[in-house]
Amino acid sequence: MKSNDHAPIGVFDSGVGGLSVLSASLNNLPNESYLYLADSAYAPYGDKSDKEIRQRVHQVVSYLIERGAKAIVIACNTATAAAVHECREAFSLPIIGVEPGLKPAIKASHSKRVGVLATQYTVESLKFQRLVSQLNQQAESITALGCPGLVELIENPNTTDQQLSELLSPFIEQFESAEIDTLALGCTHYGFVEKEISALFTKPVQVIDTSESIAHEIKRRLKEQSLLSQSRLNSRVELLTTGKDRDVLLELANRLIQFDGDVTPIEVAK
């Protein structure tokens, strides 16, 4: 056991999306403390340039390390695609990223015709393109679509079902034309509208969520480094935001992890 095993795990996303990963981590690693940072002032990441995302991720990771994090979870597909490799080179602590669940989607699919819905950045990223080429042989077809605007709708507490349906319908039509039977949600925000997405399909489609497997990966990496906390005493969750999404963050955190604290507004130096 290392002396900093009680230090928090730093988890971040461009907003509320990573809370799904936080929730699965809390279920699997209840002894740990967590510092969750919603970088909403900078959201969405998905329509920024490669350089902008990489710089921002570097700043956020540095911030979490300064706050004492013993490991970092990049609970954002976009940020992972842009910067996970470079962060692992720049920082010596364990850094766990996420990627669209294409592999589990192909495994679960009967027809081997699968879809991925993610941010435009993730779909076009080299990391995702490599994943597609690795798995292409195992699938009949892979339809990967970027969905600009969906993160903003999810972050906005006033979004109506009508707005969601208008934005999503053209994408669902493309998935239906490709006759997919399984859909991987390649953005951690999208799980919060899984019901709405499923309801727009005319035939049932399996939706793949990777939060559970990410939580197992976090556990594996912490164990490997002897960083697992041994007791629940002093374990706590702290929520931080750089933006104005306090209410959405609190509502979701309350629903997902029964969080009854407050959200601390912070600034991450540019």
Catalogue the active-site residues: 76, 187
Decide the pairing of beta strands 95-96 and 9-13.
Answer: unpaired
- Residue number with CB closer to ligand DGL (76 or 228): 76
One of 7, 8, 11, 14 touching ligand DGL (CB under 6 A)? 14
- Give residue number: closest CB to ligand DGL: 46
Q: In the stretch 218-257, what mask flags binding to ligand DGL with x, by CB under 6 A? A: ----------------------------------------
Residue 125 found at the interface with ligand DGL (CB under 6 A):
no
- Residue number with CB closer to ligand DGL (12 or 227): 12
Residue 97 found at the interface with ligand DGL (CB under 6 A):
no
One of 11, 147, 151, 153 touching ligand DGL (CB under 6 A)? 151
Evaluate whether 154 touches 190 at the Cβ level (below 8 Å): yes
- To ligand DGL, the closest distance from the beta carbon of 262 in angstroms equals 23
Q: In the stretch 197-216, what mask flags binding to ligand DGL with x, by CB under 6 A? A: --------------------
One of 187, 214, 228, 252 touching ligand DGL (CB under 6 A)? 187
Residue 13 found at the interface with ligand DGL (CB under 6 A):
yes
One of 9, 19, 24, 43 touching ligand DGL (CB under 6 A)? 43
Chain contacts with ligand DGL (rule: CB under 6 A): 13-14, 17, 43-46, 76-78, 119, 122, 151, 187-189
